[in-house]
Amino acid sequence: MDKQIIAKIAQDFVKISEYNYVSKYKAITEELVGMKIFDEPIFAFGDARDSGFNLLKNPSVIGEHFLLPTEWLLNANTVISYFFPFTDEIIKSNIKEKYWPSNEWLHGRIEGQNFLNEFNKFLNTKLIEEGYECIIPSLDTRFFCISHMDNEPNHFTSNWSERHVAYVCGLGTFGLSKGIITKIGMAGRLGSVVTNLKLKPSEKKYNNIYEYCIMCAECVKQCPAEAISLIDGKNHKKCSDFLVLTTEKYKPRYGCGKCQVNVPCERSTPKTFPK
């Protein structure tokens, strides 16, 4: 199995998987039945022993609780990181809805994550069928995600971070809102698998953690929780508190995503400051 085959598996899954379309049983409104959630993804392939993963164990980044690829899978060779972009319908709807998340975005957040889980399992099965071992950290029983550590209320962490992994693999860099800016933007969802399949690592076309962010502050203007600042960066507690409000309003769904839309990095990597 090579990179092209993996990309083709993803392309086909996007087209044919029922999980990439809102069913009549899940649709918030009748008009959303059949709505497509994601377009075709992009991939980055990281060396499982890349020194960048070790840096994530630094307390100033994630911490010792972050598990290396080889701690998830002892004989790991490659980390496959991917980004599925949301469709135009989802993105445009969340621009039109100024404060609360649009119904389309709520489907993207919840049903979209269900799709990613199913894609991970599908890719995992394909790798195993070819004789390779594979682990999906986010679905593994060892995975944890908590909202605080060491009695620090503003500390949100997990032992596998899709964003940090994407950065190490070469998929993109962080933005001011702490999302990952890829070559096709940041409006979408990230995922990853760890495997002993050996693939050539992707070229990293950046050197700095915020290299793709032009610090234009458009995400600051878009954030309904006022959780983003050019001076202080991202306040995860404020962001989380707003998500709690959306959970109460839209239960069983939640979401926001305003920092991912109507911004220069929505669909591309910004090059210059806006005029």
The model's pLDDT over 61-86, given as tens digits with 9 standing for 90+, comes to 999 999 999 999 999 999 999 999 99
Q: Are β-strands 180-181 and 78-85 bridged in parallel, bridged antiparallel, or unpaired? A: unpaired
CB atoms within 10 A of CB 160: 26
**Amino acid identity of 35?**
M
* Cα separation, 138 vs 189, whole angstroms: 13
* Cα separation, 253 vs 102, whole angstroms: 11
Six-digit token string for 100: 């609360």
**Which pLDDT value is given to residue 152?**
52
pTM of the model: 0.93
Q: Place 146 in a pLDDT band, splitting at 50, 70 and 90.
A: confident
Residues 6+ apart with CB under 8 A from 239: 223, 225, 227, 256
Q: Place 272 in a pLDDT band, splitting at 50, 70 and 90.
A: low
Residue 146 · residue 157 · CB < 8 Å: yes
**Which pLDDT value is given to residue 102?**
98
Instruction: Please tell me the chain's helix, strand, coil percentages from 3-state DSSP, rounded to the nearest 5.
Output: 35, 15, 50
Q: Place 271 in a pLDDT band, splitting at 50, 70 and 90.
A: confident
CB atoms within 10 A of CB 155: 14
Q: What's the number of CA atoms in the CB half-sphere (13 Å) around residue 251?
A: 5
